[in-house]
Structure 1
Amino acid sequence: MDLDHARTVAVEAVEAAGALLLEGARGAVGVRAKGVAGDVVTDLDLASEKLLLERILTAYPSHAVIAEESGLAGSAGAEWTWLVDPLDGTNNVAIGLPTYVVGVALCRAGRALLGVVHDPVSAQTWSAIRGRGAVASSGARLAPPYAPSPHGPLLAWTQGYDIARDDVTALRLKTALDRHARRVLQLWAPLLAWAMLARGDIDGIVGYRAEMVDLPAGALLAREAGIEIRALDGRPYEECIDAPAEERSFVAAHPRAVPGLLALVQ
């Protein structure tokens, strides 16, 4: 498998989807309810996903694709599986907030080997191949410095869609972060948070039962930029597409910042 070629296919696909989203978000966006937890889906999600599926399966007809809206496509049981998030930040687009990205990951044996995230608004794309670092579309390598603030860390919070408002663990975690962090961002776009962490714009991410479709691409991007990811109890963390929701809780930060972040959540 030529991962460099796969990255080229992925970058071209997410940037084409991003152009579609950017143009569509300028007009009226069709929105409808999705599930019972208050989530929504838009016409743009579906159009972007259709484009991404066509691009990926044309290039790799023997691969499987798991897309956020349509589920499994392509060859079930294939050695290689793509994860597709056609519009990460749907709720933002639905209320006219221009904060969203497109992301894809290519996985083998449950582990992401390639991750690509594209921000249509800033026209930036970030990608990573496992073991080979993370880069911006300019070619610059991502390597965020350790720059602690005396006022506390700037963190992002992400959680799964089905987490209840009265979930005790989520409430305790968010209360602890609010007490000790300089600011806690809830972007409704986890892949954007991962890109911000990989660039050094924020100091860390805390995730609670995160959604799987967007986790591998973002986590790989951050890891390859030098970010460390740990389970909430401090154990080594490895995102796997088959992992159940209860195993998708983590902290992510610069290695020197991880002990302090773990102390907050524990």
Structure 2
Amino acid sequence: MRVRPPVSHSRSPWRRAGGRALSLLAPLVALLLCLLPPRAAAWPVDLAMPLEVGKERFHKLSAVEWVEVEDPSIATAEVLAGSNELLLTGVKPGRTLLLLYAEGKFAVWRLSVGAPGRPLEPEPSAEPLAAARKACPGLKSTEGAERSLTTAVNTGRCREALRTLLKTDAFLARELELTFEMTVLQEQLVALTAGLKGSGLTVSYHGAGLLLEGTTSPEGHRRALWELFRQSVGRVALEDRVTVQRPPPPEDAGTPGASGR
């Protein structure tokens, strides 16, 4: 049985995790062009964002709840209060990932930080691409200005070869069109389930879509979204039914009546 998840032709970088498909980013960069059908995060990233050490870069978002940088020693990201403006700052040369979330959608960007005046060199992808071609018979790819990759993912070996390739700078999510065998999706589900063990959350497939359920803390929710991204290949529809329990605000000892009764 073959399952064809939504293909990655749309150019919006946001991935849906429940709710209606709404545009979250204002059109400030050329890559943010139109709405994206329901998606879930998975390799590769949605956008590759170049930065320089010590320099700041601003992006105006139409909506944002939170962002998280995988390695803040390489770059930092801050949502400026009351403005929905994202401030990115390069700290030292290297690569890291940025997770963005708003209104039930999330996206993952790659932040590539180079020295001043010296952009970071692209990660080599020739060997991973050759390995993916060998593991995925019939794989077709193009390079240059109109990059694309199309293949059927019929085996776990093919899926793992693609995951290795898609961790490089070779492709962005919108440049893929993948078709999955059901057995490969089941293998992927096993990996996702193992990654969520102990989190209080469960994940299951409904056709080609993923259903994420359970109750957890904000930190647990973020870890789960990271895990879905890291363990998956391509894009599938995701329904996020997680209940996020936030700790109560601490009592203000300086407020009359807050304590001492």
Alignment TM-score, normalising by the size of structure 1: 0.32
Structure richer in helix, relative to its length:
1
Q: TM-score, normalized by length of structure 2?
A: 0.32
Higher RCO (CA < 8 A, seq sep 6+) = 2
